[in-house]
Amino acid sequence: MKTPIYLDNHATTRMDPRVLETMLPYFTEKFGNAASRNHEFGWEAEKAVDRARKQIADLIGATAKEIVFTSGATESDNLAIKGVAEMYAERGNHIITAATEHKAVLDTCKKLEKHGYRVTYLPLKGDGLIDLDMLKESFTDKTILVTIMYANNEIGVIQPIAEIGKMCRERGVLFHTDGVQAIGKVPVDVNKDNIDIMSITGHKIYGPKGVGALYVRRRNPRVQITAQMDGGGHERGMRSGTLNVPSIVGLGEACAIAQREMPEEMKRMRYLRDKLTSKLQAGLDEVFINGSMEHRLPQNLNMSFMYVEGESLLMGINDVAVSSGSACTSATLEPSYVLKALGLGDDLAHSSIRFGIGRFNTEEEIDYVADKVIDVVKKLRELSPLYEMAKEGVDLSKVQWAAH
């Protein structure tokens, strides 16, 4: 077993060597511009792009013409939300989203608010799920778009996407979902799930960074989006810019592999995740799982280790790459807004660790990580005045802390 062990697969994934293999020729001998219509080099590139388009579409139950290539999910989210807002401005100015969305969605919505749009940020239930009744009450006759992510990047909770999509469809409102954590990991079908627009990225599914796609529905309803960049009118006028052929080929191959291997991989991921969970629960008291265990990606575990601060825990398991919801590990010095939206106190948010299991993790690695985390948590609890007080029966919520 080699260290460090990578268990941060919601942040990014290692590229599958099979993906790299398919990409390589498109950097060198097959270097053509997919928009060159009058020679062999261009045709070859266009053919490769079309094949990738089909591979992506197949994974999500779409058609190839509904795939628009972008630079990644941040661009896809921006294009979807701003593009719909601009295109449908005459119909209304209201957008519904959720408090736990990715910043690419939240900050895009905030930008639109400055331009006169109204945005509803739905709170979440304690298990991280949307309250469908609350969503229902949030629609107005000015609502043009609902944007709610498929699966959350911190807690892995999967939203009731098909129900949300159905509600939108019944009201003639478009439904966008940020699908980056879900596609290739769990079955996603834009028709069964009533999705109109979906953001996709390569690097979360063992493909390259810097490439993504936007699914844009063409029938029932036909979705229109105003381009956010002006140029050569590529991608049916929705996204100008010369196509990044090698990366697009890689994204396509990553989708094809994910589709082929999903049933097997889901089983294996769930087995490893459940093993990690039960080992941690058996080895430690006072640990809490954040978010629904039932509606969750099989790759994700997000756990709070009470009385231990996240950054100090990461320091103790420095040969394991994971993330923490602790403020000390974020650029903003604020604890995770996702965990806080679940109603978690700041103290528990500070004590959380996100484990993201991926295709290349082994059972041996999971065993090692579990043992290591248990060791370090025990050691840090020996150091923790909070653990000592709790063991003495002090109710920590009643203590008058000298906040600083």
Partner 1 sequence: MAYSDKVLDHYNHPRNVGSLDKSASNVGTGMVGAPECGDVMKLQIQVNNDSGIIEDAKFKTFGCGSAIASSSLATEWLKGKTVDEALQIKNTDIVNELSLPPVKIHCSVLAEDAIKAAIGDYRAKQSAKSSAPAEQTVA
255 part of the active site: no
Q: Does 347 bind partner 1 (CB under 8 A)?
A: yes
Q: Does 404 bind partner 1 (CB under 8 A)?
A: yes
- Residue of 109, 168, 255, 328 marked active site: 328
The β-bridge relationship of strands 320-321 and 212-216 is unpaired
Q: Does 332 bind partner 1 (CB under 8 A)?
A: no
Could you give the string, one character per residue 164-183, with x where binding to partner 1 holds by CB under 8 A and - elsewhere? --------------------
* Cα angle, residue 62 at apex, residues 229 and 97 outer, rounded to 5°: 60
Looking at the Cβ atoms of 239 and 381, the one nearer to partner 1 is: 381
Q: Rounded to an integer, what distance in angstroms lies between the CA atom of residue 247 and that of residue 212?
A: 9
Whether the Cβ atoms of residue 134 and residue 158 lie closer than 8 Å to each other? no
* Cα angle, residue 271 at apex, residues 270 and 274 outer, rounded to 5°: 80
* Interface with partner 1: number of residues (CB under 8 A): 28
Q: Does 394 bind partner 1 (CB under 8 A)?
A: no
Looking at the Cβ atoms of 180 and 317, the one nearer to partner 1 is: 317
Among candidates 361, 290, 378, 293, which has minimal Cα distance to 7?
361
Q: Could you give phi then psi for residue 197, rounded to 5 degrees? A: -145, 135
Choices 40-48, 120-128, 228-236, 382-390; region in contact with partner 1 by CB under 8 A: 382-390
Q: Which residues share a beta bridge with 98?
A: 122
Looking at the Cβ atoms of 296 and 350, the one nearer to partner 1 is: 350
Q: Could you give phi then psi for residue 388, rounded to 5 degrees? A: -60, -45
Could you give the string, one character per residue 291-330, with x where binding to partner 1 holds by CB under 8 A and - elsewhere? ----------------xxx-xx--xx---------xxx--
Q: Does 403 bind partner 1 (CB under 8 A)?
A: yes
Looking at the Cβ atoms of 54 and 350, the one nearer to partner 1 is: 350
Whether the Cβ atoms of residue 15 and residue 250 lie closer than 8 Å to each other? yes
Q: Rounded to an integer, what distance in angstroms lies between the CA atom of residue 209 and that of residue 149?
A: 20
Looking at the Cβ atoms of 97 and 290, the one nearer to partner 1 is: 290
Q: CB of 12: closest distance to partner 1 in angstroms?
A: 19
Beta strands in 110-181 (DSSP E): 118-122, 143-147, 174-178
Looking at the Cβ atoms of 131 and 347, the one nearer to partner 1 is: 347
Choices 44-52, 203-211, 233-241, 384-392; region in contact with partner 1 by CB under 8 A: 384-392
Q: Rounded to an integer, what distance in angstroms lies between the CA atom of residue 76 and that of residue 176?
A: 10
Q: Which residues share a beta bridge with 40?
A: none
- Kindly list the residues in this chain that would bind partner 1 in the complex (CB under 8 A): 307-309, 311-312, 315-316, 326-328, 333, 335, 345-347, 350, 382-388, 396, 401-404
Which are the catalytic amino acids? Answer: 328
